Amino acid sequence: MKLIRVAGAVLNQTPLDWDGNQARVVAAIRAARDRGVSVLCLPELCLCGYNCEDMFHAPGVRRMARRVLHDILPETAGMVVSVGLPVLYQNGLFNAVAMIVDRRVVGFVAKQHLAGEGIHYEPRWFKAWPNGIVADVHLDGVDYPIGDLFFDVGGVRIGFEVCEDAWVARRPGGELSLQGVDIILNPSASHFAFGKQEVRERFVLEGSRAFGVTYVYANLLGNEAGRATYDGGVMIASDGAIVARGPRFGFDDHHVCDAVIDIDLTRTDRVRTGSFTPDIDGDDDHLAVPFDWPDIEPQRSDVSVAPWARGEHVKAEEFTRAVTLALWDYMRKSRSRGFVVSLSGGADSAACACLVHLMCRRALDELGDDAVKHLLDYVPLGDDDVADARALTRRLLTCVYQSTRNSGETTRHAARRVSEAIGAKHIELDVDAQVEGYVDMIAAAIGRELTWETDDTTLQNIQARARGPGVWMLANIEGALLLATSNRSEAAVGYATMDGDTCGGLSPIAGIDKAFLRTWLAWLEKVGPVNLGPIAALDAVNAQTPTAELRPPDSGQTDAGDLMPYDLLDVIERAAIRDKMTPVEVYRLMRSTFASHRPRQLGVWIERFFRLWCRNQWKRERYAPSFHVDDKNLDPKTWCRFPILSGGFDRELRELREMIDREAK
């Protein structure tokens, strides 16, 4: 047996936070050393941060990343450590990994496949390194090999697949396998999205099996730069089996997951594989580096899956953990003193308030009160403020119910119940006088009375907008973040009042659809996250029919009446926007999916969706930053581009109407 202890580490980094990033890298290296680790893989671009955006073009960023690289070298004594940073070669910028062996940088591996879809824009900053090419780069007076190479470290061959390299059809691991590589390290910055962890686990397992290697995957953790959340989750696989698995969505700023692997065992399995034919042309691109591997004993590693990651509620659990972690990081990294929510008593604002409370519970459970006070050192927290999650919620969350003459006791009661259940500060304001003041002022200016018959939208919107100034004032007083409460379904059709329910500096649920959100709230009322439990007071919210509550009570206003059923809206959105179907194609899909609805009614709803989608792109452009939780996102800044001005699908919708008319004859 030739036993080696390998590890991956997750890091909660921040772009351009040089001191903080360096401290967390050093902490991970020291934690790995304490566990006897010899090979440590750290996440992609971990020295500077993955989401530096156009600052990658700045020469000073590259220089500072190299300074941090040299500063951490003494910490790597007796270890093999990989760290990510940008490297300039022949005026092309490359996403690179520095290989450190016992306090010395021995070379750089450059990423061959760049992530350039959806939330990722790597080709804007980096060049893809060509397969099979190795060159020399001159950095700070020293020449280093760079490119598509691997390293023979004391007789153990170590290669790389950098994040996207493992997601493509022709993975670099295939050629590394033919060159006798024993260990493949995958430093990643892979954002969270529903269902994505299963894909990662498949390529880690299949990489280890097909390539006959030990495969180490290390990801970023937390809300690094504002929108994307990284779930961490180190995985180590050997010869087709997971041998160690790290936690996901943790509140700790770093975590090391290690395993003892047997190099001789993976080599033997390749020897007995008849289809394996090594590349023996004598021209492999590797660098030999002397290294003395320590003698260690076999040890069993943790391969268990967290209890919350099994069963029928995985999506609800992932959503809870992703958004609470994102809120925690956004708050502390922006040095905000908490949150303010305009709590209407409806589903969206209640979800935002509950997520803040669950954030407080997780922070205290996972970090402890002393660590919470240390991380929030800019907030004057006393012992009473962190005595329990309710106390911390009261310190960090203010909920405001703002009524007009069209508000009802049902929503007032629901808002108060939710606030009391989670421990938030609760304020009630009556903004009817402000609404009437605006209405009277404009009526006098235009010389006529405003009525519901002639000015329906105007009278609804002024109520929503009149609620903005007060909550902004409270957010300013508290030094807190005002949370916008609009969801993705509303964003798709513009069913939101700009400067009303879109008020805020952060929009935590703008990436999630209303149908799922209501399902999640029902689950949170009855079941709740593992180790956190339910919030029973949500029964007052879940019992209601969704309504904007902006028209007079006798109008019977509902969201479905204004728009269409939310479950149908979400299917239309996926078909039209994600799958790029025409209105006629969407109609055919709806006929089979929602057969209980009359064809002409389906046509009305589909046309309404396309009209509202085109008309309201400008609203989506103005939304506050939102958290990316679903790879069906509508955020035009990171995922879904659409022109603000367009033809509005006029011809396509005319063809839809004509087809429905023909069917009716």
**Residue 548 confidence class, pLDDT cut points 50, 70, 90:** confident
Query: How confident is the model over 112-131, as a mean pLDDT?
Result: 95
State whether 130 and 20 are in the same domain: yes
Distance CA 642, CA 628 (A): 18
Q: What is the pLDDT of residues 194-239, one digit of tens each?
A: 999 999 999 999 999 999 999 999 999 999 999 999 999 999 999 8
**Structural domain contains residue 256:** yes
Q: How confident is the model at residue 272 (pLDDT cuts 50, 70, 90)?
A: confident
User: Do 170 and 249 belong together in one domain?
Assistant: yes
> Which structural domain, as residue segments, surrounds residue 497?
306-431+467-543
pLDDT at 166 over 60: yes
536 shares its domain with 621: no
Per-residue model confidence as pLDDT tens digits over 16-52 = 999 999 999 999 999 999 999 999 999 999 999 999 9
Please give the Cα distance from 194 to 197 (Å, whole number). 8
User: Do 240 and 118 share a structural domain?
Assistant: yes
Could you tell me if residue 214 is inside a domain?
yes
Tell me, yes or no, whether 637 and 503 share the same domain: no
Q: In this predicted structure, what is the pLDDT of residue 664?
A: 85
Any domain includes 496: yes
**In-domain check, residue 555:** no
Closest C-alpha to 639, from 51, 118, 191: 118
Give the model's confidence band at 165: pLDDT under 50 very low, under 70 low, under 90 confident, else very high.
very high
CATH of the domain at 636: 1.10.10
pLDDT tens profile 51-101: 999 999 999 999 999 999 999 999 999 999 999 999 999 999 999 999 999
Would the pLDDT of 282 be above 80?
no
Read off the pLDDT band of 274 (50, 70, 90).
low
pLDDT at 283: 59
Give the number of domains in the chain: 3
Please indicate, yes or no, whether residues 473 and 582 belong to a single structural domain of this protein.
no
Q: Is residue 59 part of a domain?
A: yes
**CA atoms within 13 A of residue 295's CA, in its CB half-sphere:** 0
Q: Are residues 528 and 571 in the same domain?
A: no
Ranges 294-298, 454-458, 543-547, most confident: 454-458
Average of per-residue pLDDT across 413-439:
97
Q: Are residues 577 and 517 in the same domain?
A: no
Asked whether residue 461 is assigned to any structural domain, the reply reads no
The mean pLDDT of 318-344, rounded to a whole number, is 98
* Domain match, 572 and 509 both: no
| Domain membership flag for residue 241 | yes
Residues 531, 586, single domain; the answer is no
Q: What percent of the chain has pLDDT over 90?
A: 90
CATH number of the domain at 189, please.
3.60.110.10
Identify the pLDDT of residue 271: 87
Tokens for 295, please give them: 């003698």
Instruction: Identify the domain boundary among 292, 326, 346.
Output: 292
Name the pLDDT band for 302 (thresholds 50, 70, 90).
confident
Question: Which of these, 44, 36, 51, 33, lies nearest to 11 by C-alpha position?
Answer: 44
How much is the pLDDT for 284?
63
Distances 29 to 41, 246, 481 between C-alpha atoms, Å: 10, 16, 35
Q: Which of 106, 48, 43 is nearest to 76 (CA)?
A: 106
Q: Are residues 91 and 215 in the same domain?
A: yes
Locus of tokens 């300013």: 476
Q: What is the pTM of this model?
A: 0.95
- Dihedral angle computed from the Cα positions of residues 277, 282, 284 and 286, in that order, rounded to the nearest 10 degrees: 120
Domain stop point among 543, 569, 603: 543
pLDDT for residue 490 is more than 80: yes
Centroid of chain to Cα 440: 45
CA-angle at 484, arms to 483 and 490, nearest 5°: 150
Cβ atoms of 356 and 395 closer than 8 Å: no
Q: How far is it, in rounded angstroms, from Cα 191 to Cα 634?
A: 16
In a domain, 445, yes or no: no
Q: Which of 419, 417, 414 is nearest to 541 (CA)?
A: 414
Question: What is the per-residue pLDDT for 279?
Answer: 77
Mean pLDDT of the chain: 95
Q: Is the CB of residue 24 less than 8 Å from the CB of residue 251?
A: no
Residues 181 and 326 in one domain: no
Joined together, the tokens standing for residue 313 give 């509620």
| Residue 459 pLDDT | 95
**338 and 232 in contact (C-beta within 8 Å)?**
no
Q: Which CATH number belongs to the domain containing residue 328 in this structure? A: 3.40.50.620
User: Which residue is associated with the tokens 């002393």?
Assistant: 370
E strand or H helix that includes residue 614: helix 599-615
The first and second tokens of residue 598, run together, are 């009359």
Burial of 143 (0-12, 13-18, 19+ CB in 10 A): exposed
pLDDT at 1 (0 to 100): 79
